[in-house]
Amino acid sequence: MKFLGYRRPDGGVGTRNYVGVLSTVVCANEVARAIAGQVKGAVAFSHQQGCCQTPPDLERVTQALSGLGRNPNLAAVLLVSLGCEGTDVAQVAKSIADCGKPVQIVVIQEEGGAAKTTAKGVLAAQQMAVAASKIPRVECASSELVLGLKCGSSDTTSGLAANPALGEAVERLVAEGGSVILGEVTEVIGAEHLLARQCKDENVARELLSLVERMEQRVKAMGVDMRGGQPTPGNIKGGLTTIEEKSLGAIAKIGGTVIQAVYEYGHRPEVKGLVFMDSPGREPELLTGMAAAGANLIVFTTGRGAPQGFPFVPVIKVTGNEVTWKKMQDHMDLSVHGVMDGEESLTHAGQRVYESIIETASGVETKAEVSGYVQAMDIYVTGPVI
């Protein structure tokens, strides 16, 4: 299948064509947002990280911002720095420039405050936006898609309808040569023995199991039963009793596809096909990790009705819950609730999910995009704030 996308100098393909205004530290968020707010075609990425953290986390922030800047949905990038942060801003800029993308930096402490930095940033972003608007959509193969997977505010319909339907679409996309990223390590706990069997070889299986074990150890170190945190109170209200049950439903998102490799958070896959990426289940960190890994589209299944989107990667919402479909119309893109009582076959539902992926990749807007519900973003760190 073909879709209409934006070709980038490094060979990547965008499904959107934004100027990204990336804050390099929590303390520069206001200016990044102010700049993006004044330039049509610009979007801001803000987060809570980048300073007073342990070196591994600062390295994580630097890498995640580099990955976000390189994401093919951005035509150009403006970095907004405070000037004294722990993020390696020069490294972020170099990484983005290396993929052939225009990148500029504005530094609040050098410009002399927010007002001057905003003015300079707006002028720079305007020029970038005009240049970006000259890039046309061209026909691209579905193998250029890098699809991120997410399920959130799940209930038991997620595992029975929405996730298996997405699994069908994933099987097709991977068969066509596309890339797919599965994350949410917490939501593999209890189902890892099944996922391990879907890994390409023993090494990949071992890496996957070690990520799951690391996540569970982190949780157990808190000395409590994680139920209530995972599964969430909403999951429990929807009928999910344990993390094992939630996980068994969650892994249906990949169908029978083989896992080719396992990566750390935000790492760009070096292979095509399905890969597994370290990440938590929570939306801001998960969606950001997918975007940093180069996802140009995300499909997000939900039972109870999760509204979250991301600033520059379209997030398609699929539900298997008829009540949610009717009640949450301004957030849901697609319903496969007919699968629940056998009115629609899983194959047909999967076909509709696949078609929605191609349409959205070609420019059809998601509910999250038209409603502006696109602020679920933060970088996943595991160490303390110090």
Partner 1 sequence: MRRDAIVIKRQDNVATAIRDIPAGKKAEVGVGEQSVGVTVSKDILFGHKLALRLIRNGEEIIKYGTVIGRATQDIQPGEHVHVHNVESTRGRGDLA
Q: Are 237 and 225 within 8 A, CB to CB? A: no
Binding mask 160-179 for partner 1 (x = CB under 8 A): x-------------------
Site for partner 1 in 241-300 (CB under 8 A): 241-245, 248-249
152 near partner 1 (CB under 8 A): no
CB of 295 to partner 1, least distance (A): 27
Q: Between residues 248 and 357, which has the closer beta carbon with respect to partner 1?
A: 248
Q: Between residues 28 and 199, which has the closer beta carbon with respect to partner 1?
A: 199
Residue choice 234, 323, 363, 382 for contact with partner 1 (CB under 8 A): 323
Q: Go through 99-127 and write b for each residue having 16 or more CB atoms within 10 A of its CB, e for each that does not.
A: bebbbbbbbbeebeeeeebbebbbebbbe
Q: Between residues 129 and 212, which has the closer beta carbon with respect to partner 1?
A: 212
Q: Are 350 and 168 within 8 A, CB to CB? A: yes
27 near partner 1 (CB under 8 A): no
332 near partner 1 (CB under 8 A): no
List the beta bridge partners of residue 74.
18
CB of 320 to partner 1, least distance (A): 10
Task: Using CB under 8 A, count the residues that bind partner 1.
Answer: 36
3-state secondary structure of 336: coil
**Interface stretch with partner 1, choices 33-41, 199-207, 213-221, 343-351 (CB under 8 A):** 213-221
Q: Between residues 189 and 262, which has the closer beta carbon with respect to partner 1?
A: 189
Beta pairing class for 273-277 and 179-182: parallel
To which residue do tokens 């074990």 refer? 213
Backbone angles phi, psi at 139, to 5 degrees: -70, 130
> DSSP string of 85-118?
-SS-HHHHHHHHHHTT--EEEEEHHHHTSHHHHH
Q: Between residues 306 and 374, which has the closer beta carbon with respect to partner 1?
A: 306
Q: Are 129 and 74 within 8 A, CB to CB? A: no
**Interface stretch with partner 1, choices 17-25, 116-124, 173-181, 219-227 (CB under 8 A):** 219-227
Site for partner 1 in 333-372 (CB under 8 A): 340-342
Q: Which strands make up the sheet holding 315-319, listed edge to edge? A: 259-263, 273-277, 179-182, 146-152, 297-302, 315-319, 334-335
194 near partner 1 (CB under 8 A): yes
3-state secondary structure of 139: strand
List contacts with partner 1 (CB under 8 A).
155-157, 159-160, 189-191, 194, 216, 219-227, 230, 236, 238-239, 241-245, 248-249, 303, 321, 323, 340-342
